[in-house]
Amino acid sequence: MKMTFRWFGENDPVTLTNIRQIPGVTGIVSAIYDVPVGEAWPLDKITRLKQTIEDHGLRLDVIESVPIHEDIKLGLPSRQAYIDNYKTTLRNLAKAGIDTVCYNFMPIFDWTRTSLNYELEDGSNALIYEEEVAQKMNPLTGELKLPGWDTSYTDDQLKTLFDHYKKVDEEKLWTNLAYFIREIIPVADEEGIKMAIHPDDPPWPIFGLPRIITNRENLDRFLGLYDSPNHGLCMCSGSLGAHKDNDFPAMLRHFGHQKRIHFVHARNIKRIGDKSFCETSHLSEHGSVDMVEVMKALKEVGFEGPLRPDHGRMIWGETGKPGYGLYDRALGIVYLNGIREALNH
């Protein structure tokens, strides 16, 4: 497998020089962050990003992500123009030599947490999701400002979106997702791009909004929407592992044998209730996900694609984007590489 690391561009306090010095890391996961959602990504911006990364001795292995406009998720008449822009972006990515794209289909909010600075027993800080807290939050008041999804909506825009989603239940969201997939995957097939959908995080409905990429049954249903080897999954141990009924290593074996896993996010979480969890270090003994079993499953199915440590704790006084500090994610990479080397021996 290819060890990769998330980089948020020139404004990221974590530099490419930092990343290049992490043992075993050869690839970068990044995106174009200054193009409004729904617009096509210009080829020149993509090639500049790729060249910058290559100038530091690394590869641009994965684009994460090309955001999907809400009109597509809602199934509004305006969706076709945004889908056409998405196709243009995929074609431009292919021209630049990019072959893996991660995306998600979560309504309005990307990954969601109720606090960015939960203090763990060791004094480090981590992201946490507490269901009871979430149920008391009003998403229309601007309380949620997380470094993982677009915070550009005004309160009025959010209210309008929520009004639209009152007409969208799970089955309607499945219908809208199926329409998008039928439009996009033929382009991915033409261009040789592996499309990897990220699971919903957390993997259950929040704020009355439907979420459908949540468990093995739904991932099977998703893959059944279109018959193509490029129509695949990003398997995230933290997202899917947050639900007590999801056996993540078993899911890796199930979908890995089908060769439908195109990207892996490896991080650990500790479940602290039926629908509450905090993030923790990668070590198996610190969380609810057996990372040794995760790496063993990936080896068994012959996974050769990109893997990255996902969110990490903020440790050793590091500041910056919560969940995306350099130090703990670097420790995670070293830990995962240690497991891999032991398994290979």
DSSP 162-188: HHHHTT--HHHHHHHHHHHHHHHHHHH
Query: Is the confidence at residue 181, as pLDDT, over 50?
Result: yes
310 is catalytic: yes
Q: What is the pLDDT of residues 10-43, one digit of tens each?
A: 999 999 999 999 999 999 999 999 999 999 999 9
210 touches 169 (CB < 8 A): yes
- The pLDDT assigned to 153 comes to 74
Of 102, 311, 328, 335, which one is the catalytic site residue? 311
Query: Is the confidence at residue 87, as pLDDT, over 70?
Result: yes
Query: Is the confidence at residue 259, as pLDDT, over 80?
Result: yes
* Whole-angstrom distance, CA of residue 254 vs CA of residue 249: 9
194-197 vs 125-129, strand pairing mode: unpaired
236 is catalytic: yes
What amino acid is encoded at 17 in this protein? T
- Rg from Cα positions in the chain: 19
User: Which region, left, alpha or beta, applies to residue 4 given φ > 0 means left and ψ of -120 to 50 means alpha?
Assistant: beta
- The pLDDT assigned to 146 comes to 58
Report the range of poorest mean pLDDT among 153-162, 193-202, 217-226, 319-328.
Answer: 153-162
Instruction: Assign 314 to helix, strand or coil.
Output: strand
Of 69, 231, 243, 265, which one is the catalytic site residue? 265
Q: What is the pLDDT of residues 289-343, one digit of tens each?
A: 999 999 999 999 999 999 999 899 999 999 888 999 999 999 999 999 999 999 9
219 touches 255 (CB < 8 A): yes
- How many CB atoms within 10 Å of residue 23? 10
Q: Tokens for 195? A: 């499309």
59-64 vs 100-103, strand pairing mode: parallel
Q: Tokens for 74? A: 């809602």
198 is catalytic: yes
Domains and CATH numbers, the chain: 2-344 (3.20.20.150)
- The pLDDT assigned to 158 comes to 85
- The pLDDT assigned to 150 comes to 46
69 is catalytic: no
- How many CB atoms within 10 Å of residue 304? 9
278 is catalytic: no
- Residue 183, exposed/middle/buried by CB under 10 A (0-12, 13-18, 19+)? middle
pTM: 0.94
Q: Residues with Cβ < 8 Å from 267, sequence gap 6 or more?
A: 236, 237, 238, 279, 282, 309, 310, 311, 312, 332
Closest to 103 measured CA to CA, from 86, 84, 81, 125 = 86
* CA-to-CA separations, 316 to 281, 325, 328, 329, in angstroms, rounded: 13, 10, 9, 13
Of 69, 103, 153, 198, which one is the catalytic site residue? 198
Q: What is the pLDDT of residues 113-167, one digit of tens each?
A: 999 899 999 999 999 999 999 888 887 776 665 544 445 677 788 889 999 999 9
Percentage of the chain modeled with pLDDT above 90: 88
Of 102, 234, 236, 278, which one is the catalytic site residue? 236
User: Which region, left, alpha or beta, applies to residue 317 given φ > 0 means left and ψ of -120 to 50 means alpha?
Assistant: left
